[in-house]
Chain A
Amino acid sequence: MAGRRVPLADVPNAANSPFRAVTVGATAGKRPRPQSMEQRELVYGQPPPSKRQVVETEESIQRRNILLKRVGKGQPTTLQRKLEAAREPKPTQQAVDRQQYNEQTLEHIRQWQNHYKKVFPSFVFYLDSIPSDMKGEVLSGLHALGARDDKFFSKSVTHVITTRPIPPVTSSSSSEAVAPQATINPSVLDRSQDHHGQAKGKFSFEPPRKAVDVLQRARDLGMKIWALEKLQRIMMTMFDTSTGEGVRHGHDTRTRGASTVPHGQPDLSTLLQQEKLHGPADRDVTVAVQEMTQFRGYYIYVHDMDEQTKPVMVRDYAKPERKEDGQWPQLRATPAGRCPFVDDQASARKLKLQQAKAKQKMLRDQTQATAAPRTRAAFAMQQAREQKQGDSRILTENNNLATRRNHAAATVQNPNEALVKPLDPPKTIPAKRGSTDTQNLPPPLFGSAQASLRQLPRIVAGEPIASGVQPSNVTSAIKSQMISSTAAAPGARAGTSREVTQLKRKVFAKNSAQSTNSIPSSYMNDVRAAINNDRPVQRKRKAEQLVPIDEDMEDEEEEVKQKVKATRKKKAVERELKPGYCENCQDKFNDFEEHILSKKHRKFATTADNWTKLDQLLTHLIRI
């Protein structure tokens, strides 16, 4: 049943449709333009109050237009004035209760401005009988707002600006019922000849003529017709922001708004409704409030000034007690040759010294057999304390960082965390530093570098690796994995030898074998590789530093088990998988070798058409 109805609904304007007039009348009201379609949908889509508003708006536009038209160019009758005043009581009231409505009004103006700013570029203006001295000004204003002007009147025009009286909507509404493609020529109603003085439409019963007045034509085509004054008011309001500043500006707008707003407002509300219709795609920050997240800490926010696109950068850093503890990049005193934005190296080096010192001390303690089992955290904290007292040459902020680092190290070394499964989601990435700070924050956007990229490197390519885990083979895949991961960078001291770099790769090699299940993206690979990497690093550190501690003995048993497991696994997977993305198949793959032999890929490779353009170039590159 419904199926049978659809065609009718779909083709309301089919020339011969008996439903045509009805449909048009029922839906579009008066204008068969897209805009009115939107409004129609909106009527259905919105809760009752909005609907009412829209209806009112429509009416008020019409009414106003009539008034405008009737008022003509400066000789309004007293009756008309009264009428206008009666029909549009808002402005007066607003003027009276100015203080009270201050905020609302301002808000409205702003919304109105914003909206117009957005829609203007889609407007095409046609200037009708505008004095030439005004023309330039008007045009430059239009262009500044992104609109276009057409020298010739055509269907593409959306707005006609005129100094002449505007033909009434009421009369045209009858003609519009028959709409543009009507068989009855609407120009029957032409009144263009007598616009001087006698603006009120006299119906002419002359037969339709070819030379139809532009305004009437525009009306029939559903274009908007604006009096020049209206356009000027709009532009004045649009450009208003530029002149005013701060609060004063607001007042300006408002006082001028006494005249501006009432005319703008009906448009505003329809437009606002439309905006709701468009959805968040052209969301306006000043409008939508409910789904916003406010920054809580120290933030960096880079966003489009017109809110047309997603923000380019959004990050909220926890507020540390001291700004030096902040996790955002800051210039730090680092050893010569090293990146001044990475605090890691200095502390890492110190850590090493400490460790050596601590090891001695621990050995001593152990031989005396007096050492009570301590947590690593306590141990690390103590190291930090010792170190803090000892080394006075280092800047305070670095001292502090050392502390944090040790603390973080303790967190990581917690046996439970150390055994985190390789494929756990990124949230399990142990906080490398300032762990307590981050926990209070809303989870970082996935894919932002906040949690992973910026922190992972601390461990992955931190000093521990450089000083020597040396697992086995490396392939290009592993290498590239490591390379594409930002993880590799910060630790590496400039001047690090190739060998050392390769050692780092090997760390990855060892772990990547375990992470071959499903590879959603290279990003995930990086994350995983980095996560995986935590283990050997810790292991090594443990071995180096904390052998005598009881906890570690337990750990080491586990470690042995794991090692066995790992080696077994490695034997099983003889050839390492190289995950990646194939541009030609537009597929992600788990294994390069496998993929390039796949049917799909072979098909691409052997289809000559794919290579014709490249081959043409290659003929120029033959060696001579």
Chain B
Amino acid sequence: MRTQRMAHQQIQIHEDEPLSDENETVLDESRDPLAESSGCAASDESDEEVEESVAEDMAKFEESFNEINGKYRLINRIGEGTFSTVYKAEDLRYNEFENTWDYDERRDSKWSSPRHRNRPQSRKPRFVAIKKIYVTSSPIRIFNELELLHDLRDCDSICPLITAFRHNDQVIAVLPFFQHRDFREYFREMTVSEMRNYFQSLFTALAAVHHHGILHRDIKPTNFLYSPKQGRGVLVDFGLAEREGTDWRQCDCTLESYERKSKIANSVYASAYVKAPNAVPSYPKQDERNSRRANRAGTRGFRAPEVLFKCSQQTTGIDVWSAGVILLTFLTKRFPFFHSADDIDALLELTAIFGRKRMRDAALLHGQIMETNIPSYSDVGHSFEKIILWSTDRSRKDNRGNRVEELSKDEKEAMSFMERCFELNPERRITAKEALMHPFVTKAGEESGEEDMVDLVGNVEDDY
């Protein structure tokens, strides 16, 4: 249960004020993908060793919030951000409630005998995650997050809300404690067939979120608690989520392509370009124009191009893009793949891969002109095949200049799926629903050909 809200939440407020523009870069940043300790990953041994300061903090919390006493026993602090702190706690009165949220229990009881099911299970400690939302968060924001979670309560891939309550300005959300592994521990060992499971689970969650017309906005490994053992994950942290269509203002990307073309052809830029096609651009020194307004909340390195271009009609496609970044991480075995210190770097990193031409086109979709003369980027960029091979140190070539190693058939399938997530035009990008029908995902759970063999197969095929 991720907790890091604040910075970016501030943004959303701030973005309406033109003055705060300079803060934007930092403010809408969700927690850094690497900096996050994976909150709920707390393993058993770390439960034991509670830091002194954490113990103090928890004692204070319990003292100030009577309602949790007798209901939950705080065990450890497992995650914290700028807008909330998450604690692992024992659910002391588990048996007094229905617990429809408890996926494991439902699954277990399905297979156990009725007799066994009826037996009280008081022995087993039940854990929950308690999210203490800082009192500096506005009620509207808290409402937003809780309401969206409530809307999504019936989807197994989304971390359900057990309950939430308030004492004065302190709001507490109780969520299931989901045992999972830290992404960084396993992403390099993921086989393609494991990836299939991962993405089936993730896209099931996304499809549900999107079906409700909600954008998660912060899809990244730390917000998808995945248990490789169970082959199942849950989506958490809806602190940045919003309903699709919130604060939309017309963006050129929604125009018919001929309309857009005519608009582009008649743009100020087009006429300036006609005048001096090769002119080095210049920008106003003191620019008093308004900033383009768009929600940019999200995590660096996971933002879709339309977010970077400040599209004012962002769709659920931004989540699909972010999911694509996760897959890229698996395939290249690099985390994070994009460094993206800020949006400009993020855009340039995309340009390094997709090439200048496609990025320019992507910018135009949103009425933006992208101009760059940076020499490191080619017009056409690199193919993902090349990038994956290169990233995984398989890019050697023989004397004749042919690659020694190839992507496996499975990898290629994963790659083609990823490419669908990486459509620069959000309209053409695969939707979560469609993703669930893509061969890469539909083959999840199948005992696919042994990974080792696939390499050979791939090579053989290439000889034909």
Q: Of all chain B residues, which has the CB nearest A624?
A: B98
Question: Is the pair A281, B289 in contact by a Cβ cutoff of 8 Å?
Answer: yes
Contact B82–A295 (Cβ < 8 Å): no
Q: How far apart sit A604 and B36, CA to CA, in the bound complex (Å)?
A: 31
The minimal Cβ–Cβ distance linking B212 to chain A, given in whole angstroms, is 16
Interface stretch of the complex, out of A76-84, A213-221, A223-231, A236-244: A236-244
Chain A 567-606 interface residues, beta-carbon cutoff 8 Å to B: 580-584, 586, 589, 592, 595-596, 601, 604-606
A312 contacts B166, CB within 8 Å? no
Known A-B contacts: A305-B264, A331-B352. Give 20 more (CB < 8 A). A110-B274, A241-B265, A283-B284, A295-B282, A299-B371, A301-B371, A306-B268, A309-B292, A331-B353, A337-B333, A341-B349, A476-B57, A484-B82, A494-B336, A604-B169, A605-B168, A614-B142, A614-B166, A615-B166, A618-B146
A583 engages B352 (CB within 8 Å): no
Query: Do the beta carbons of B285 and A117 come within 8 Å of each other?
Result: no
List 25 A-B pairs, Cβ < 8 Å: A145-B266, A284-B268, A295-B282, A301-B369, A301-B371, A305-B270, A305-B369, A309-B290, A310-B289, A317-B374, A329-B345, A329-B348, A331-B387, A336-B334, A337-B188, A454-B341, A474-B51, A475-B53, A483-B4, A486-B32, A522-B10, A523-B22, A596-B169, A623-B162, A624-B98
Chain B 369-401 near chain A by CB (<8 Å), digits 1 or 0: 111111110000010000100111100000000
* Contact residues in B for A498 (Cβ distance below 8 Å): 37, 46
Bound Cα distance from A479 to B34, whole angstroms? 13
Shortest Cβ distance from residue B256 to the other chain A in the assembled complex, whole angstroms: 11
Whether a CB of chain B sits under 8 angstroms from the CB of A279 is yes
Chain A residues whose C-beta falls within 8 Å of the C-beta of B266 in the assembled complex: 113, 117, 145, 238-239, 241-242
Which residues from chain A contact B289 at a C-beta distance below 8 Å? 280-283, 307-310
Please give, as numbers and ranges, the residues of chain A lying within 8 Å of B184 by CB-CB distance.
Answer: 494-496
Interface positions of A from 301 to 359, Cβ below 8 Å from B: 301-315, 317, 323, 326, 328-331, 336-342
Q: Is the CB of A614 within 8 A of B374?
A: no
B302 at the interface (CB under 8 A from A): no
A595 CA to B137 CA, complexed, in Å: 13
Chain A neighbourhood of B463, CB < 8 A: none
CB–CB A312/B374 < 8 A: no
- Identify which of B147, B188, B281, B342 contacts A301 (C-beta below 8 A): B281
Query: Of all chain B residues, which has the CB nearest A521?
Result: B23
Which residues of chain B in 128-143 are interfacial with respect to chain A, using CB atoms and an 8 Å cutoff?
Answer: 134-143
Measured between alpha carbons, how far is A496 from B187 in the docked complex, in Å? Answer: 13
**B97 close to A623 (CB less than 8 A):** yes
- Bound Cα distance from A606 to B139, whole angstroms: 12
Residue of A nearest to B164 (CB): A621
Residues B282 and A293 in contact, CB atoms below 8 Å apart: yes
Q: In this assembly, does B198 line the interface, its C-beta being within 8 Å of a C-beta of chain A?
A: no
- Verify A476–B80 contact, CB threshold 8 A: yes
B44 at the interface (CB under 8 A from A): no
Binding site for B on A (CB under 8 A): 106-107, 110, 113-114, 117, 144-145, 238-239, 241-242, 244-246, 249-250, 279-286, 288, 291-295, 298-315, 317, 323, 326, 328-331, 336-342, 445-450, 453-454, 457, 473-476, 479-480, 482-486, 488-490, 492, 494-496, 498, 501-502, 521-523, 526, 580-584, 586, 589, 592, 595-596, 601, 604-606, 610-611, 613-615, 617-618, 620-624
B171: interface (CB < 8 Å) = yes
Given A285-B268, A446-B22, A614-B345 contact (CB < 8 Å)? no
- Determine chain B's interface SS by DSSP, over half rule: mixed
* CB <8 Å contact, A581 and B10: yes
Q: Is the CB of B274 within 8 A of A285?
A: no
CB distance from A162 to the nearest CB of B (A): 25
Interface residues of B (CB under 8 A from A): 4, 6-7, 9-10, 13, 21-27, 29, 31-37, 46, 51, 53, 57, 77, 80-82, 85, 97-98, 134-143, 146-147, 150, 161-166, 168-169, 171, 174, 184-185, 187-188, 259, 261-272, 274-275, 277, 280-292, 300, 308-310, 332-345, 347-349, 352-353, 363-364, 367-376, 382, 387, 390-393
Question: Inside 8 A of A454's CB, which chain B residues have their CB?
Answer: 341-342, 345
CA distance A314 to B21 in the complex (A): 14
Select B338's contact among A328, A341, A581, A621, beta carbons within 8 Å. A341
**In the complex with contacts A483-B81, A596-B135, A473-B53 CB distance below 8 A:** yes
Q: Which residues from A are CB-within-8-Å of B382?
A: 331
User: Of the candidates A242, A299, A618, which one forms a contact with B262 in the assembled complex, judged by CB atoms under 8 Å apart?
Assistant: A242
Contact in complex: B344, A449 (CB < 8 Å)? yes
* A315 to B345 Cα, complex, angstroms: 10
Q: Is the CB of A486 within 8 A of B368?
A: no
A107–B163 CA distance with the chains assembled, in angstroms = 66
* Inter-chain contact A484/B26, CB cutoff 8 Å: yes
Which A residues are CB-close (under 8 A) to B268?
Answer: 114, 117, 284-286, 305-307
B283 and A314: CB pair below 8 A?
A: yes
* Beta-carbon contact of B34 and A488 below 8 Å: yes
Q: Most B CB atoms within 10 A — which of A308, A315, A483, A584?
A: A483
Hey, which chain B residues are within 8 Å of A117, CB to CB? 266-268
- What is the CA–CA distance of A308 and B333 in the complex, to the nearest angstrom? 42
* Residue numbers in B under 8 Å from A595 (CB-CB): 136
Do A241 and B171 touch across chains, with their CB atoms under 8 A apart? no
Question: Would you give the shortest CB distance from A567 to chain B, in whole angstroms?
Answer: 18
**Are B376 and A306 interface neighbours, CB within 8 A?**
no
Check B27 against A522 for contact (C-beta < 8 Å): yes
How many whole Å from A575's CB to the nearest CB in chain B? 11
Contact B274 A250 (CB under 8 A): yes
Q: Is the CB of B375 within 8 A of A621?
A: no
> Once the chains are docked, how many angstroms separate the CA of A341 from the CA of B335?
11
- CB of B25 within 8 A of CB of A606, answer no
B272: A residues at CB distance < 8 A: 110, 285-286
Please name all residues of chain B whose beta carbon is closer than 8 Å to the beta carbon of A483 when the two chains form the complex: 4, 31-32, 35-36, 81-82
- Do the beta carbons of B274 and A292 come within 8 Å of each other? no
Nearest B residue to A611 by beta-carbon distance? B139
Question: Which residues does chain B contribute within 8 Å of A584, judged by CB atoms?
Answer: 135-139, 169
Residue of B nearest to A313 (CB): B344
Residues in B whose Cβ lies below 8 Å from that of A476:
57, 77, 80, 85
A127 to chain B, nearest CB (A): 21
B contact residues around A299 at 8 Å (CB)? 280-281, 371-374
Report yes or no: B275 in contact with A107, Cβ–Cβ below 8 A: yes
- Which of B171, B174, B271, B391 is most buried by chain A, counting CB atoms within 10 A of its CB? B271
Q: How far is the CA of A244 from the CA of B264 in the complex (A)?
A: 13
Interface-central residue, B35, B375, B391, by most chain A CB under 10 Å: B35
Contacts of B393 in A (CB 8 A): 336
When the two chains form the complex, which single residue of B162, B169, B269, B339 contacts A490, counting CB atoms closer than 8 Å? Answer: B339
Cα A474 to Cα B9 in complex, Å, equals 24
In the complex formed, the residue of A with least CB distance to B41 is A498
Complex: A553 Cα to B342 Cα, angstroms: 39
Closest chain A residue to B51, Cβ basis: A474
CB distance B274 to A241 under 8 Å?
Answer: yes
- Complex interface: chain B residues within 8 A of A582 (CB): 136
Most buried by A among B163, B165, B340: B340
Q: How far is the CA of A160 from the CA of B48 in the complex (A)?
A: 81
Given contacts A107-B275, A583-B141, contact A294 B282 (CB under 8 A): yes
Q: Are A474 and B6 in contact (CB under 8 A)?
A: no
A280 close to B284 (CB less than 8 A): yes
Complex alpha-carbon distance, A442 and B152, angstroms: 50
Q: Which residues of B contact A340 (CB under 8 A)?
A: 332, 334, 337, 391
Given known A-B contacts A482-B35, A488-B34, A305 and B364 have beta carbons under 8 A apart: yes
Which residue of chain A is the closest to B329 with respect to CB atoms? A494
From known contacts A281-B289, A304-B367, infer whether A312 and B338 are also in contact, taking CB-CB under 8 Å. no
Across the interface, which residues of A come within 8 angstroms of B333, CB to CB? 336-337
Are A328 and B374 in touch, CB under 8 angstroms? yes
A310 with B292, Cβ < 8 A, contacts A340-B391, A624-B97 known: yes
Chain A CB within 10 A, most for which of B32, B268, B352? B268
How many angstroms from the CA of A301 to the CA of B280 in the assembled complex? 10
In chain B, what residue has the closest Cβ to A596?
A: B135
Give B180 Cβ to nearest chain A Cβ, in Å. Answer: 14
Residues of B within 8 A of A337 (CB): 188, 333-335
